[in-house]
Amino acid sequence: MLATLEIEKTTVQQSRVTDVDFTNLKFGKEYSDHMFIADYSDGEWGKFRIEPYDLLHLSPSNTVLHYAQSVFEGMKAYKNPEGDVLLFRPFDNFLRLNISAKRMCIPELPEELFIGGLTELLRLDKDWVPDLPGTSLYVRPFIFATDEYIGIRPSDTYKFMIISSPAGGYYSEPLRVKIETEYTRACEGGTGFAKAAGNYAAALYPAKLAQEQGYHQLLWTDARDHRYIEEAGTMNVIFKIDGKLITAPTNNTILKGLTRDSVLTLARDWGLPVEERLVEVQEVIQAAREGRLEEAFGAGTAATVAPIDTIGFDGEDYHLPSVETWEFCNKAHQELDDIKTGKAEDKHGWIYRV
C-alpha cells in the first residue's frame, strides 16, 4: 500500500480540453491542463504540487542547459469501456527511471512520489484521456538538474515533473529503416541503457541524414564493429526469421524496453520460439534475400508495435512481405491494445487502474 502523498493543487479556471480535435491528434502537439512538480534540495524530495501547464523559469546558468543532466520516461494511459483510466506498467517505468537516474548522478525517486504524483495528475486530467481507437494519453515523467552553476559536477538540486499529451499513432505507415554502420548511438560502458536526454540529442544528426534519404528511422549497430543490430532510434527492434522471434538482449548499450518485454512475453505465452541474442547484420540481410525474414517490427511506448517493411543496407533496399499477411506482429499489436484498454484479460498484472 502506497503512502498518501500530500500534494498542493492549483487548478485551471477553464479547461482547454474542448479546444482539442481528438479525431486528428498528432504526437506531442497538445498538452493537458496540469503538470506535477517536485523539487529536490538539501538531500530530499519535497514541495509536491500540481499546477496549470505553463512555461518554466530557468537561469541561463542552469546545469541542465550546459551538461544535459536529465532523464525521462514515457508511458501511456487509456480508457476502458467503462471509462476508467488505465496505465500500462507504470511500476516498471518507475524502476527504469531510477536506473537511469543513478547512472546520471540524479537522486532516485521514492515509489510513493512517482506513483502518487502520477495518479493525482491523471485523476485531475482524466478528461484528456481519449477513448477513440488508436489514441491514448502519452505521459512524460522527467527529472533535470537545476543548480545555477556552470562548473562540471552533479547538481545539488533537481526538479521532477510529469506532463501529458493526448496522442494518436506515432507512425502512420509501415517503416523504412536504414542499418547505420558509420555513426554510433551507444558503446560499452556508456549511457545507452539509460533514458538520458543526451543519448537522443547525439542521435539526431545521423537520423536526419537517413530521413533525407527517404528512411523513417535508423537501426543502430554496435559501436566496435557495426556487426550486430542493437535497436532503432525510438524503439527496440524484433525480427521473425524462420518462424522464430529474434532480438538483441538488453545490456548496457540497449534500453530495456517495456513494450519489447511485453511482446516477448506474449510470444512465449503463445508458444512461439524466442531468441534473445546477438543479431548479426548479415544474418538479417541474408534472411531477407532468401525470403526467410518473415516480419520485422519496432516495439516502444510511443511507437507501440510498428511494422518495418523496408530495410536499407549498403545502398540496397530489402523489402519484406506485405504487412497485412504478418501473423505475429498484427496479433501482438491487437492483443496489447486490448489489454491496455481493458478489453482483454490482464494475465501478467500490467494494468494500473487510476
* pLDDT, tens only, 145-162: 999 999 999 999 999 999
How many structural domains comprise the chain? 2
With H, G, I as helix, E, B as strand and everything else as coil, classify residue 129.
Answer: coil
Q: Is 340 exposed, middle or buried (0-12, 13-18, 19+ CB in 10 A)?
A: buried
Q: Is 74 exposed, middle or buried (0-12, 13-18, 19+ CB in 10 A)?
A: middle
Q: Quote the pLDDT of residue 230.
A: 97
265/203 same-domain check: yes
228/87 same-domain check: no
Which of 119, 152, 169 lies at the terminal end of a domain, its last residue? 169
Q: Could you tell me how far CA 236 lies from the centroid of its own chain? A: 10
214/154 same-domain check: no
Strand 175-179 to 217-221 pairing = parallel
**pTM for the full model?**
0.95
Q: Which of 41, 38, 62 is nearest to 51 (CA)?
A: 38
pLDDT along the chain (354 residues), means of 10: 80 96 91 98 98 97 97 97 96 98 98 97 97 94 98 97 92 91 94 95 96 96 97 94 97 94 98 98 98 96 91 97 95 96 96 97
With H, G, I as helix, E, B as strand and everything else as coil, classify residue 109.
Answer: coil
Is the residue at 349 inside a domain? no
Q: Quote the pLDDT of residue 1.
A: 42
99/221 same-domain check: no
pLDDT digits (tens, 9 = 90+) for 222-271: 999 999 999 998 899 999 999 999 999 998 999 999 999 999 999 999 99
State which residues form the domain around 82: 8-169
Which of 144, 169, 194 lies at the terminal end of a domain, its last residue? 169
Is the residue at 121 inside a domain? yes
Is the residue at 235 inside a domain? yes
Q: Quote the pLDDT of residue 4.
A: 74
List % helix, strand, coil for the chain (3-state, nearest 5): 25, 30, 45
pLDDT digits (tens, 9 = 90+) for 15-26: 999 999 999 998
Contacts 24+ apart (CB under 8 A), 208-215: 210/178, 210/180, 213/178, 213/312, 214/176, 215/176, 215/177, 215/178, 215/312
157/300 same-domain check: no
* Contact criterion met (CB below 8 Å) for 52 and 11: yes
Q: Could you tell me how far CA 1 lies from the centroid of its own chain? A: 27
270/316 same-domain check: yes
Question: Which residues 6+ apart lie within 8 Å of 235 measured at CB?
Answer: 257, 259, 260, 298, 299, 300, 302, 303, 306
Tell me the CATH number at 216.
3.20.10.10
Tell me the CATH number at 91.
3.30.470.10
Q: Quote the pLDDT of residue 2.
A: 53
Which of 169, 202, 228 lies at the terminal end of a domain, its last residue? 169
The beta strands (E) that lie in the chain are given as 8-9, 34-41, 44-52, 70-72, 75-79, 85-88, 136-145, 158-167, 175-179, 217-221, 228-232, 236-241, 244-247, 274-276, 279-280, 293-300, 304-313, 316-319, 351-353
60/161 same-domain check: yes
